[in-house]
Chains A and B, each alone.
Chain A
């Protein structure tokens, strides 16, 4: 391990002994972080290892219970992000915080508007500053464009500009590449290198090892809430870094010795779905998908290319223009959601908070949700609380949900355990077909492996799965076939045995279309 003080370069950020206790989620303890000025410093760790918690501490979004923060050699105590901004720290969040109907300039100055002597916003001054920042960033867009017209990569550039505009010299980027395809990742790092060359410091949070090893100068590894290693890309390779993150043997999504059955469980034919705005182009265009028993069909694609709409159409939450949807040979395209569920359709939703859980309700009510027609849980029109509770306890045990009991409200669980509960609920009723959207998003390694096992196990027993995931390794590892969605269409079918994440990336941007041979 390198002792940075000998290297002569000043430390931009020093965290010593940071401990943050937090109910229900992994907190930080004894975190040691040293970031040299003028470098890109990666913080890597599994989902839920405590990376974001740590960065929120540094950005003043909450205060550490113990430990010290030093910025550019000066001890600092941030009560709010405003204090952190004043100290030259800026944060680009994972989820963009931009107002769609405002221009780039308006978004950037929002909350920090330059005003003239009469209290009016001085757009001229703002523009001048933004244009000079854009030059240094190498950005080429027109600052008067509406943000709604920008792509994901450009929006991220605007977020970075927003932070620079407020005078940040130390930039925290929270999983900035999660929403980008590989090509956009390249552009992002070109931008970051420029910034670093001009004296900025970048703290880069990620769990994607390849980009960390390719682009970053130094690496700090966080595991289960604490920093376990400091290293540089030249000292580690992909595997050893992964093992540092996980702390032991790596879980492996692969293991594909499947017997895909002959019977079609889900058949989508010629599906068209209108766009949200009248007259706009179709949200889904001529989608044809078949999932057989014992088959996992993966859907790859950058978020927002129709995956969500496809799931909602299959579930009957959207009225399709034309086409047919059938489960086990029964035509369902004009039936209600509840009938489709009763036919054996199950759904692990994209966002467990918005579509999966009743956060304020106890766990037993959550596992009952959507299963009101299950006669073993009810007495005629009445619910049978004792039976539902017993059923919930069995889900908790089978899926390893960490909870004191089935009576606690769902919000008291950590994200991974909430996800396990949702997965358990959807799988326990032995569905014929499962729509699994990001089944392991935001869960820890152990839970991820458990969910993968359950999926594989059910698949072996004949379940058909439509798997939508942003985790390309998960897609390649679990799927029997991979379909790529781009712009509302299925643009390619790939064989996971030969597909690589890079290859998927080129398909996902729409650069390449057509089946890989």
Chain B
């Protein structure tokens, strides 16, 4: 019966691959319309795969995407659409930068302290949306979008008013006080690939175990699959909403840690920008499954890293942004179509199997 699961996985993967392929075709048309040669563009784009530096950079870019996609996916698993990962991440970034610079701890503890602060602040910010939904029935899509605006403005104001530090290096960028080196997350490849990559993979593994292997995860998935049925069997829907929002927010808090602890070591205004939003696309393409998220994050990371090369042949690198957008759209449409087809196939197979079973009996 393992084969049945494998079949489903194969169908799922095939439909995602199809979506990527369709997106490539559409982008080729866009390129043709703008008078560029799509074949040359794709050769340049994917030809970069042979370059170790590009690959290292891709993994580095994929790191925050994996975490933010996991944050989105844990909500998705129970039909909660947390669009607020970006805002949660931003609040957590400033809080961690300030708190991390204020304490003095030995290296591993210092990093751990930063993680805890980041996860706690992210969870609190997401908790607002969860609390509004549970207590007042506010749709989380609306509240998280609104809280994004609040977070961005609040953080910008707080940073500007209280936490700017005098530049010591003569850089024009304004930053907070730099974190002590004990809070710096070590690189695997110096200045190219942060060790946070392993943390992201660990997050995905824990995400898998939690959602697919535990009682809590089962209840989470059941609440998403059929709220009425899980309620009637004793799962408290409000508690599930609150817990999954808090978990999602905690992960959102970790999204910016590669940039903060592994790269800049201080808060600045554009730090880790968009990485919360991009997680939504990665989670969609990855079908909210850790393995899918891992592969999708690598793809998006690669496209981001390799896009610079397009400029060398006079093609705007924004074409990769268009491509990711179209991939997401195609995924949504194709997945739905494939699911319908696959449902019919399974239903038919069950009927056929039954008929033979009846005859055999």
B270 at the interface (CB under 8 A from A): no
Check B353–A404 contact: CB distance below 8 A: yes
Per the bound structure, the CA–CA distance linking A336 and B240 in Å amounts to 14
B235 at the interface (CB under 8 A from A): yes
Please indicate the chain B residues that have their CB under 8 angstroms from the CB of A381 in the complex. 214-216
Closest chain A residue, CB of each to CB of B215 = A372
Within 8 A of A (CB), among B223-241: 225-226, 228-236
B347 at the interface (CB under 8 A from A): yes
Per the bound structure, the CA–CA distance linking A359 and B357 in Å amounts to 23
Please indicate the chain A residues that have their CB under 8 angstroms from the CB of B228 in the complex. 354-355
Which of B214, B216, B219, B354 has a CB less than 8 Å from the CB of A404? B354
B26 at the interface (CB under 8 A from A): no
Check B350–A408 contact: CB distance below 8 A: yes
A86 at the interface (CB under 8 A from B): no
Per the bound structure, the CA–CA distance linking A164 and B354 in Å amounts to 42
Per the bound structure, the CA–CA distance linking A339 and B236 in Å amounts to 11
A413 at the interface (CB under 8 A from B): yes
Q: Among A339, A340, A368, which residue has the most Cβ atoms of chain B within 10 A?
A: A368
B136 at the interface (CB under 8 A from A): no
Which of A336, A368, A405, A409 has a CB less than 8 Å from the CB of B234? A336
Check B236–A383 contact: CB distance below 8 A: no
Check A369–B230 contact: CB distance below 8 A: yes
| Chain B proximity mask over A396-408: 1 for CB below 8 Å, otherwise 0 | 0000001111111
Which of A24, A383, A405 has a CB less than 8 Å from the CB of B347? A24
Per the bound structure, the CA–CA distance linking A89 and B154 in Å amounts to 64
A317 at the interface (CB under 8 A from B): yes
- Tell me the minimal C-beta distance from B4 to chain A in angstroms: 5
- Tell me the minimal C-beta distance from B163 to chain A in angstroms: 40
- Tell me the minimal C-beta distance from B68 to chain A in angstroms: 26
A431 at the interface (CB under 8 A from B): no
Closest chain A residue, CB of each to CB of B219 = A372
Check A361–B354 contact: CB distance below 8 A: no
| Chain B proximity mask over A468-512: 1 for CB below 8 Å, otherwise 0 | 000000000000000000000000000000000000000000000
B312 at the interface (CB under 8 A from A): no
With A355-B229, A383-B214 already in contact, the answer to whether A24 and B351 are too (CB < 8 A) is yes
Per the bound structure, the CA–CA distance linking A447 and B66 in Å amounts to 48
| Chain A proximity mask over B235-264: 1 for CB below 8 Å, otherwise 0 | 110000000000000000000000000000
| Chain A proximity mask over B112-131: 1 for CB below 8 Å, otherwise 0 | 00000000000000000000
Please indicate the chain A residues that have their CB under 8 angstroms from the CB of B351 in the complex. 22-24, 412
Check B218–A368 contact: CB distance below 8 A: yes
Please indicate the chain B residues that have their CB under 8 angstroms from the CB of A338 in the complex. 234-236
- Tell me the minimal C-beta distance from A500 to chain B in angstroms: 33
Per the bound structure, the CA–CA distance linking A93 and B225 in Å amounts to 28
Per the bound structure, the CA–CA distance linking A372 and B5 in Å amounts to 23
Check A365–B231 contact: CB distance below 8 A: no
Which of A358, A383, A406 has a CB less than 8 Å from the CB of B229? A358
B346 at the interface (CB under 8 A from A): yes
A337 at the interface (CB under 8 A from B): yes
Check B218–A383 contact: CB distance below 8 A: yes
Interface residues on B, range: 35 or more
Closest chain B residue, CB of each to CB of A361 = B225
Within 8 A of A (CB), among B330-361: 343-344, 346-354, 357-358
Chain A: interface residue total (CB-CB under 8 A): 41
- Tell me the minimal C-beta distance from B324 to chain A in angstroms: 28
Check A315–B232 contact: CB distance below 8 A: yes
Per the bound structure, the CA–CA distance linking A424 and B39 in Å amounts to 59
A378 at the interface (CB under 8 A from B): yes
Within 8 A of B (CB), among A362-421: 365, 368-370, 372, 378, 381-383, 402-409, 411-413
Check A24–B350 contact: CB distance below 8 A: yes
Please indicate the chain A residues that have their CB under 8 angstroms from the CB of B346 in the complex. 408-409, 412
Please indicate the chain A residues that have their CB under 8 angstroms from the CB of B164 in the complex. none
Closest chain A residue, CB of each to CB of B5 = A407
| Chain B proximity mask over A342-361: 1 for CB below 8 Å, otherwise 0 | 00000101000011111111
- Tell me the minimal C-beta distance from A408 to chain B in angstroms: 5
With A369-B222, A372-B219 already in contact, the answer to whether A23 and B235 are too (CB < 8 A) is no
Check A403–B234 contact: CB distance below 8 A: no
A341 at the interface (CB under 8 A from B): yes
With A315-B232, A405-B1, A412-B347 already in contact, the answer to whether A382 and B226 are too (CB < 8 A) is no
Closest chain A residue, CB of each to CB of B343 = A411
Q: Among A339, A408, A413, which residue has the most Cβ atoms of chain B within 10 A?
A: A408
Please indicate the chain A residues that have their CB under 8 angstroms from the CB of B191 in the complex. none
Closest chain B residue, CB of each to CB of A27 = B351
Which of B229, B347, B349 has a CB less than 8 Å from the CB of A369? B229
Please indicate the chain B residues that have their CB under 8 angstroms from the CB of A349 in the complex. 229, 232
- Tell me the minimal C-beta distance from A418 to chain B in angstroms: 12
Closest chain B residue, CB of each to CB of A389 = B1
Which of A354, A358, A404, A408 has a CB less than 8 Å from the CB of B357? A404
With A355-B229, A358-B226 already in contact, the answer to whether A403 and B354 are too (CB < 8 A) is yes
Please indicate the chain B residues that have their CB under 8 angstroms from the CB of A359 in the complex. 225-226
- Of the A-B pairs whose beta carbons lie under 8 Å apart in the complex, a sample of 29, sorted by A's number, is A24-B347, A24-B351, A337-B233, A337-B236, A338-B234, A339-B234, A340-B234, A354-B228, A355-B226, A355-B229, A355-B231, A355-B232, A356-B232, A358-B222, A358-B225, A359-B226, A361-B225, A368-B218, A369-B222, A372-B218, A381-B215, A383-B214, A402-B354, A404-B357, A407-B4, A408-B4, A408-B350, A411-B347, A412-B346
List chain A positions with a Cβ less than 8 A from chain B: 22-24, 315, 317, 336-341, 347, 349, 354-361, 365, 368-370, 372, 378, 381-383, 402-409, 411-413
Lowest 8 A-B CB distances belong to which pairs?
Answer: A370-B233, A338-B234, A404-B353, A412-B350, A23-B351, A337-B234, A23-B347, A23-B348
